[in-house]
Structure 1
Amino acid sequence: MFKKLHRVVFASALAALLTLGTGWPSPALAKGPPSGFDALPQQQRVMVDDLEKRTFQWFWDSADAKTGLVPDHYPSESFASIAAVGFGLTAYGVGVERGYITREQAVERTLTTLRFFHDAPQDDSEDGATGFHGFYYHFLNMKTGKREARWVELSSVDTTLLLGGVLFAQSYYDRPTAKEKDIRELADAIYRRVEWTWMQPRAPLISMGWTPGGMFIPHDWQGYDEGMLVYVLALGSPTHPISDDAWSAWSKTYPRTWGEFQGKTFLNFAPLFGHQYSHSWIDFRGIRDAWSREHKLDYFDNSRLATYTQRAYAIANPGHWTGYGENVWGLTASNGPGDIVVKASDGSTRQFHGYIARGAGMEQIVDDGTIVPTAAGGSIAFAPEIVVPALMEMKARYGHAIYNQYGFVDAFNLSFDGKVAPTVGRIVPGMGWADTKQLGIDQGPIVLMIENWRSDFVWKVMRKNPYIRKGLERAGFTGGWLDQAEQ
């Protein structure tokens, strides 16, 4: 019903192969990732530098100058994605710190964006509004700023990803100038307006969304997935906070995905975006809630394990897809060649997909041979020692087809031979299928997590935000930076 709704999952014929295992490379995961961008060989530093800058440039070039809206995909005609706007608002701060743009440029772009969202119409009309009860529609028309179409839901998680960027702006632009003061006030007003309790038809859980025609989506955010950030922001609200028991209600479903995959036991979520989105803004290193204290595993370490299992899955390659290996891996929500069945000369068939939440984990495998660079790139802070070599090799092998002025294209597939025309993207002779554009929600984790790995930049900014701190504390998190004095 809802186009590109990430929580839609698909059964896979490969699920029976879940029991296949593989060896694990060193170093021991429990000790955490080695740090040090500066310690990389020069060629790798140059590559990561280049990728970060190009990925930032995608946001800077694609955003609408009058509204600040960021397209779902670009370059090509597209509707806006409010989640992509959240990543963009944060990327502008990265751009300032890296010297890609001036602080003044970032202030102007951020003010434009926040003014749009603050002033945009909020009501229950089918076609005339941008949001309702403080939430926003998942996709907006790039020209009008209104709901793109009637298949678009008022999205709790995409509003939350937007708010990640809004709250970043509130904490980052801290100078005593009139414009930066306006940013802080607008950001505060946008966040305070969100009526989290309204989005709880089955409290204490939070619904995935609402539509004027169909009302509340009959599914709630239950762990473990990108909904983590939804609950943190809903718990931190000074105006419409959800109840204290919401976090335990969200996390009590963890047991269904706690288990072994590829030889390691961790909290599974098959697509890597679920391990990246909340971490793009919140530093989960060393802070633990009741669940992670019991399991002696913080959420950052859990995401590190998830990253390693994806690499292990690619090495095992139970689906026998072309090109998979120790440095060519990564499954997450992305574009693909299309919903196409291809018959081989031996009579066997291969099922390919368009946009879908690809992934590999204990509960499910959704894999059609499509590799998504953000799966690795957005996990660089978790496991740089395996991510950087993967990015290097994918670019070295296939860069002519998958790396352009905005970094990696969204996805590529070495098993799609072009005997049937793809729905999107193009056939690259001698290689396979490659997308021709980037998606904002896949570009975002790349640039934010590169910078988090390099400097802790976004994490440091967000540690200062009182709403983030309050939400984490109400969820029961303690330890690490949370136990330090507020900065």
Structure 2
Amino acid sequence: MQARHLLTAAAMTLAIAACKPAQQEAPAKPKPQVILVEADAPPRPMKPELPPLFDDIERRTFQFFWDTTNELNGLTPDRYPSRPFASIASVGFALTAYPIGIENGWVSRNQAIDRTLTTLKFFRDVPMGPQRTGKAGYKGFYYHFLDMQEGRRYDSWVELSSVDTALLMMGVLFAQSYYDGDDPREKEIRQIADSLYKQVDWPWLQQRAPLISMGWFPESGFIDHDWMGYNEAMMVYILALGSPSHPVSPDAWTVWTRTYDNDWGVYQGQEYLSFGPLFGHQYSHVWIDFRDIQDAYMRERGSTYFLNSRSAALAQREYAIANPMNWKDYGENVWGLTASDGPQNTTQEYRGEQRQFRHYSSRGAGLRENFDDGTIAPTAAVSSIVFAPEEVIPATVEMHKRYGDYIYSSYGFLDSFNPSFNYDIPIKTGRLVPDRGWVASDYIAIDQGPILTMIANYRDDFVWEVMKKNPYIRKGLERAGFSGGWLAPEGEFQPLQLQKDEKAAAARAVGIAESRAAAAQEQKNNANRNTGQGK
């Protein structure tokens, strides 16, 4: 395990203050609330005011990125304090976090510029190539995990990742748009960011065109799976469509959205495009404001991807209230399933039934991809604040109040907790708290990032407004067929198409029938498990 960089004096003070949640103080600087999004647009409804707890969450979560990133190369660890390797996705969130720190007065603009330049120069200069070792990436893509010090591929099991490169590039393009001053260093940031994005050879991963592969291994070649069905890959296709140097054709988006059909239906009273873990409904939305824009798929169904994510969050909350697996503490203010740490890969008896538990795993509740072992990840709810503030704010406050002594520390919420897991067996990570269950010991960067950025978006659309200035993002959206809202010509407001037409109704009918069939199959599977016939 590698040694941690020394905390700054300010971070030390913050860490000491973390001992008791009740002693938190909010930052002195208030933030304005922005109501209008476009000229001539109708005002948005007033948003619920955030309690002081969110000031504290935001500050601590920012400090995670500032303190744990290697200041010599800009690499951010995948997790902390374990800190085994860097994650390129973590770096994308870190590059987005630094301007949030500037705007709040937590770091100076000069400090953030220095850190950002260090990061971008590292990715510009690091060795690239098809060799199995000693390289950080190939064809403009980077390996999912890199060594924290040298920045080379961490191990032979680490893939060249399209989606993690996309997360990195979203941070790179955010930096390009935010640092817009005449300072030579800011100009250099923009230039390097431009070159990094332009070097990504998106068509190279279209081995089964027009879909895009999940990645590549130097040992075995392209990963057999393409990005299909609704998930976090919206940003992959938007970035690939917007590329000025290696663009994919618009039919990539068209064909990708055709694979959605199996994911549309009704779940927990919500009719929407389903993906079980909430991260799939959050990641692309960190940088892109989907509130007032639509592609052909959503126009046809009278919805938006923003409203879709709201439905996903509400469905998960309803699932927790229904609590079909009878997990401890689930309810209207204790909910949130996503990819997260868990206690252990094991099967144990729980209330008279054999239940499977997992370590790190994707967890979710939706039409098809469901796994729930009682592990709650605070990021799932907190990062949904822009979609469902009336439900997320009380959930965040209650989870902090009930479990804060165990799950809230120096950098905000630890990754996850499981009140139902109280087994005296070896656990993979984390710890058991008497009468409280299992608690994670790590913060995970790709869970921390959405917390910080979505709170910033909720307050004043900060990340969204910066990213709207980026011509590559606009181009990618327009080539995907998005229109309306902030994509409309300047000074115009194009209302959303929320009328339900016959074609949309037919599509929904298909989705509803499929969701009912899937629910029946799930009930059958549960019955088999209860009788010992299933696995």
**TM more than 0.5:** yes
- Does residue 295 of structure 1 match 2:301? yes
Aligned equivalents of 1:134 and 1:45: distance in 2? 43
SS at match of 1:309: helix
SS at match of 2:386: coil
Give the C-alpha shift of residue 223 in structure 1: 2.8
Give the C-alpha shift of residue 455 in structure 1: 0.7
Which residue is 1:20 aligned to? none
Which residue is 1:67 aligned to? 73
SS at match of 1:71: coil
Aligned alpha-carbon RMSD (Å):
1.5
Q: 1:341 aligns with which of 341, 347, 353?
A: 347
- Does residue 459 of structure 1 match 2:457? no
Aligned equivalents of 1:208 and 1:124: distance in 2? 17
Q: Counterparts in 2 of 1:227-246, with a 5 A limit? A: 227-246=233-252
Asked if the contact 2:290/2:306 (under 8 Å) is kept, the reply is yes
Cα distance change, pair 345–279 in 1 and its aligned pair in 2 (3 A): closer
Q: Counterparts in 2 of 1:249-264, with a 5 A limit? A: 249-264=255-270
- Does residue 381 of structure 1 match 2:386? yes
Amino acid at match of 1:49: D
Asked if the contact 2:274/2:366 (under 8 Å) is kept, the reply is yes
- Does residue 173 of structure 1 match 2:179? yes
SS at match of 2:347: strand
Give the C-alpha shift of residue 485 in structure 1: 2.6
Amino acid at match of 1:446: I
Amino acid at match of 1:127: T
Give the C-alpha shift of residue 418 in structure 1: 3.0
- Does residue 470 of structure 1 match 2:475? yes
Which residue is 2:106 aligned to? 100
- Does residue 406 of structure 1 match 2:411? yes
Q: What are the Cα deviations for residues 346-389 of structure 1, in whole angstroms up to 9, with x where unaligned?
A: 5x322110011100001132000000000001111111110010
Cα distance change, pair 76–318 in 1 and its aligned pair in 2 (3 A): same
Q: 1:145 aligns with which of 147, 151, 154?
A: 151
Asked if the contact 1:270/1:363 (under 8 Å) is kept, the reply is yes
Q: 2:200 aligns with which of 194, 197, 202?
A: 194
Asked if the contact 1:339/1:352 (under 8 Å) is kept, the reply is yes
Aligned equivalents of 1:147 and 1:32: distance in 2? 48
Query: Relative contact order, CA 8 A, sep 6+: which one is greater?
Result: 1
Which residue is 2:515 aligned to? none
Q: Give TM-score scaled by structure 1 length.
A: 0.91
Give the C-alpha shift of residue 214 in structure 1: 1.0
Q: 1:315 aligns with which of 317, 321, 340?
A: 321
Asked if the contact 1:342/1:420 (under 8 Å) is kept, the reply is no
Asked if the contact 1:33/1:382 (under 8 Å) is kept, the reply is no
Which residue is 1:282 aligned to? 288
Cα distance change, pair 306–332 in 1 and its aligned pair in 2 (3 A): same
Give the C-alpha shift of residue 35 in structure 1: 4.2
Asked if the contact 1:32/1:301 (under 8 Å) is kept, the reply is no
Aligned equivalents of 2:329 and 2:43: distance in 1? 29
SS at match of 1:427: strand
Which residue is 1:109 aligned to? 115
Give the C-alpha shift of residue 128 in structure 1: 1.0
Give the C-alpha shift of residue 421 in structure 1: 2.7
- Does residue 164 of structure 1 match 2:159? no
Which stretch of the first structure deviates more once superposed, 418-427 or 356-365? 418-427
Aligned equivalents of 2:81 and 2:404: distance in 1? 18
SS at match of 1:116: helix
Q: What are the Cα deviations for residues 144-202 of structure 1, in whole angstroms up to 9, with x where unaligned?
A: 10000000000000000000100000000000001000100000000000000111111
Q: What are the Cα deviations for residues 266-316 of structure 1, in whole angstroms up to 9, with x where unaligned?
A: 000000000000000000011000001100100000000000000000000
Give the C-alpha shift of residue 424 in structure 1: 0.5
Aligned equivalents of 1:484 and 1:86: distance in 2? 30
Q: Segments of 4+ in structure 1 off by > 6 A?
A: none
In the alignment, structure 1 segments of 5+ residues that lack a partner are 1-30
Q: 2:332 aligns with which of 323, 326, 351?
A: 326
Give the C-alpha shift of residue 345 in structure 1: 7.9
Asked if the contact 2:214/2:227 (under 8 Å) is kept, the reply is yes
Give the C-alpha shift of residue 343 in structure 1: 3.0
Which residue is 2:135 aligned to? 129
Asked if the contact 2:270/2:312 (under 8 Å) is kept, the reply is no
Aligned equivalents of 2:437 and 2:233: distance in 1? 34
Which residue is 2:373 aligned to? 368
Give the C-alpha shift of residue 344 in structure 1: 5.0
Asked if the contact 1:452/1:459 (under 8 Å) is kept, the reply is yes
Asked if the contact 1:322/1:415 (under 8 Å) is kept, the reply is yes
Give the C-alpha shift of residue 32 in structure 1: 12
Q: What are the Cα deviations for residues 58-82 of structure 1, in whole angstroms up to 9, with x where unaligned?
A: 0001100111000000112320000
- Does residue 78 of structure 1 match 2:94? no
Instruction: Flag the structure with larger Rg.
Output: 2
Q: What are the Cα deviations for residues 236-292 of structure 1, in whole angstroms up to 9, with x where unaligned?
A: 000000012110011001110000100121000000000000000000011000001
Cα distance change, pair 49–410 in 1 and its aligned pair in 2 (3 A): same
Give the C-alpha shift of residue 437 in structure 1: 1.2
Which residue is 1:205 aligned to? 211
Q: 1:355 aligns with which of 353, 360, 371?
A: 360
Number of aligned positions between the proteins:
451
Aligned equivalents of 2:326 and 2:196: distance in 1? 48
Amino acid at match of 1:114: L
Which residue is 1:27 aligned to? none
Asked if the contact 1:369/1:414 (under 8 Å) is kept, the reply is yes
Fraction of identical pairs, as percent = 58
Amino acid at match of 2:246: H
SS at match of 1:303: helix
